[in-house]
């Protein structure tokens, strides 16, 4: 073989190795919801923190929305064995799997890495709504349940559960409740502004700007106690035993090695200790809710059982 072809082969091999290394060094984060939704905001916050702290300088976020994240999950499981991929998940997906009859499981088809945050649902109405307070909205709901059109992120998601819990507290059958799901809390709020909904339950970080701009009116936050920086009453303070938290975390693909899982867990552990991440928590009104390893594994398994039971109790899951 002449020297020129040999050099060409060497150069080609070097380029292939470089391309392979670049592909492996890029961390891709799937947000299984629309741009601007809660999972997207979480994915963007993770990516920005990892880049700022140089924990993973080459990070990208992409979106596959639909059916409480189960459409994204179905695509994510195809990437098994690829450790440079993460997906944001949480309560909404745990509920969405049985409701949408997804065949996948968060404790076996993907690899749990870390639980990161929790936040609370907020009940909002349009600025033009006749309901100035949560008491007025509840009074209308009790007097004519089917007249109110409720909305939220997805069927069986945290918004749906919030409405279901409120209905149960008021002894209103779910068969009389109108709940219209959207691709995300922000999308539900926009549908409300377009006259398609009367009341929306969404994560505070998704609709904070709309509240502050005056487009929508916050009625209550569904937390067990007052939340710093959020000037809204809790339903519990109003005498209604309703609170709904919405945890979020990340999983890796299935079939990765123990060493690869450990590397990803260490990266997340380092991330949550940084000032950059703590600032993201404060900006989005998220509470730190970190867990990893066997603790997160056990949490995911328990959530599967508990959430399915909750959905049955609320007559959301038949």
Q: What is the pLDDT of residue 105?
A: 96
Query: Which domains does the chain possess?
Result: 3-118+248-313 (3.40.190.150), 120-221 (3.40.190.10)
Nearest C-alpha neighbor of 316 from the set 167, 110, 140? 167
Specify the pairing of strand 199-203 against strand 178-181.
unpaired
* 219/120 Cα distance (integer angstroms): 13
Nearest C-alpha neighbor of 38 from the set 164, 150, 122, 134? 122
Q: What is the pLDDT of residue 19?
A: 38
Judged by DSSP in three states, 35 sits in coil
* 75/109 Cα distance (integer angstroms): 12
CA–CA distances in Å: residue 93 to residues 67, 105, 214, 241: 9, 10, 31, 24
* 254/256 Cα distance (integer angstroms): 6
User: Residue-wise pLDDT tens for the chain (318 aa)?
Assistant: 555 555 455 444 444 443 334 344 799 999 999 998 889 999 999 999 999 999 998 999 999 999 999 999 999 999 999 999 999 999 999 999 999 999 999 999 999 999 999 989 999 999 999 999 999 999 999 999 999 999 998 888 899 999 999 999 999 999 999 999 988 888 899 999 999 999 999 988 889 999 999 999 999 999 999 988 899 999 999 999 999 989 999 999 999 999 999 999 999 999 999 999 999 999 888 989 999 999 999 999 999 998 999 899 888 887
* 153/34 Cα distance (integer angstroms): 10
């Amino acid at each position: 073989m002449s020297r020129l072809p040999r050099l060409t082969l060497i150069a080609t091999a070097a380029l292939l190795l470089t391309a392979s290394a670049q592909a492996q060094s890029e961390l891709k984060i799937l947000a299984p919801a629309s741009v601007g939704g809660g999972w997207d905001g979480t994915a963007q916050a993770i990516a920005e923190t990892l880049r700022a702290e140089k924990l993973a300088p080459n990070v990208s976020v992409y979106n596959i929305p639909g059916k409480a994240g189960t459409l994204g999950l179905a695509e994510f499981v195809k990437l098994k064995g690829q450790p440079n991929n993460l997906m944001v998940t949480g309560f909404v997906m745990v509920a969405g799997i049985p409701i949408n009859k997804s065949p996948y499981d968060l404790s076996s088809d993907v690899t749990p890495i870390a639980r990161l945050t929790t936040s609370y649902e907020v009940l909002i109405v349009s600025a033009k709504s006749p309901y100035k307070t949560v008491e007025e909205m509840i009074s209308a709901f009790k007097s004519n349940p089917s007249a109110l059109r409720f909305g939220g992120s997805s069927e069986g998601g945290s918004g749906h559960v919030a409405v279901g819990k409120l209905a149960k507290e008021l002894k209103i059958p779910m068969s009389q409740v109108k709940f219209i799901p959207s691709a995300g809390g922000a999308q539900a709020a926009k549908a409300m502004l377009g006259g398609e909904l009367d009341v929306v339950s969404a994560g505070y970080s998704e609709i904070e700007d709309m509240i502050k701009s005056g487009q929508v009116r916050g009625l209550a936050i569904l937390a067990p106690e007052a939340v710093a920086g959020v000037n809204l009453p809790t339903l519990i303070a109003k005498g209604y035993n309703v609170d709904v938290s919405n945890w979020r975390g990340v999983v890796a693909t299935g079939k990765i090695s123990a060493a690869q899982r450990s590397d990803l867990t260490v990266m997340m552990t380092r991330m949550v200790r940084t000032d950059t991440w703590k600032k993201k928590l404060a900006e989005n009104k998220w509470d730190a809710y970190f867990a990893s390893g066997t603790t997160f594994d056990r949490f995911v398994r328990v959530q599967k059982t508990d959430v399915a039971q909750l959905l049955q109790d609320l007559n959301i899951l038949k």
